[in-house]
Structure 1
Amino acid sequence: MAVLKALRQTPSALQRNPILFAPVFVILLFQIPQLVLQAINPLVASVVSMVISLVFIFIMPFFQAGIVGMADEALDGQTSLESFVREGKSNYVSILVVSLVLVAVNFALGFVAFFVAIFGGFAAYSDTGGVGIGVLVIIGLIVALVVLAYLLVLFFVQFYSQAIVIDDLGAVGGLKHSVSVVRHHLVSTLGYSVLVGILGGIAGGVFAIGSLLTSPQSPSTLPLPQVSLAGAVGVSLLVLVFGALFGGFFGVYSVAFYRTINPGATDGT
Structure 2
Amino acid sequence: MLALLQVPQLLLQSSAPILASLVSLALSALYVVLVPFVQAGLIGMADEALDGRTSLATFVAAGKEHFVSVFVVYLILFGVNVALGAIAFVAGIVGVVSFYPGGAAGGGGPNVALLAVVAVVVLAAVLAYLVVAFLIQFYAQAIVIDGHDAIESIKHSVRLVRRNVVSVLGYTVLVGVLAGAFGLVVGLGSALAAPSMQGAVEPFAVSLPSLGAVGASALIVVLGTLFGGFFGVLSVSYYRTLDG
Matched, 1:261 2:242: yes
Report the Cα distance in structure 1 between the residues aligned to 2:18 and 2:160, rounded to whole angstroms. Answer: 44
Name the counterpart of 1:211.
190
Compute the displacement of 1:58 (Å): 1.0
Q: 1:61 and 2:61 equivalent?
A: no
User: Once the two structures are aligned, what percentage of the paired residues are identical?
Assistant: 50
Pairwise CA distance, 1:42: 2.6
TM-score where L is the length of structure 2? 0.90
- Aligned equivalent of 2:87, options 107, 112, 124: 112
Which residue in the other structure is 2:143 paired with?
A: 164
TM-score, structure 1 length as denominator?
0.82
What's the offset of the Cα at 1:228? 5.5
Q: 1:7 — aligned with what?
A: none
The answer to whether 1:231 aligns with 2:243 is no
Consecutive aligned runs of 4 or more in structure 1 exceeding 6 Å deviation: none
Root-mean-square deviation (CA), in Å? 1.6
Counterpart contact for 1:124–1:136, Cα < 8 Å: no
Secondary structure of the equivalent of 1:39? helix
| Aligned residue type for 2:175 | V
Whether the 8 Å CA contact 2:15–2:209 is kept in 1: the answer is: no
Which is further off, 97-106 or 228-237?
Answer: 228-237
Aligned mates of 1:127, 1:181 — CA distance in 2: 50
The answer for the alignment partner of 1:250 in structure 2 is 231
- How do residues 80-91 of structure 1 correspond to structure 2 at under 5 angstroms? 80-91=55-66
Equivalent residue runs for 1:76-225 within 5 Å: 76-123=51-98, 125=100, 126-216=105-195
Structure 2: gaps (5+ residues):
198-207
Deviations 1:61-116 (A, max 9, x none): 11111110110011111111111111111111100100011111111111111011
CA distance in 2, matches of 1:231, 1:121: 39
CA distance in 1, matches of 2:216, 2:107: 54
For residues 216 and 106 of structure 2, the distance between their equivalents in structure 1, rounded to whole angstroms, comes to 54
**Out of 70, 73, 90, which is 2:45 matched to?**
70
Residue of 2, 6, 12 corresponding to 1:37: 12
8 Å CA contact retained: 2:98, 2:106: no
Q: Distance in 2 between matches of 1:134 and 1:148?
A: 21
Code of the aligned partner of 1:232? A
* Equivalent AA in structure 1 for residue 5 of structure 2: F
Gap regions ≥5 residues in structure 1: 1-25, 219-226, 263-267
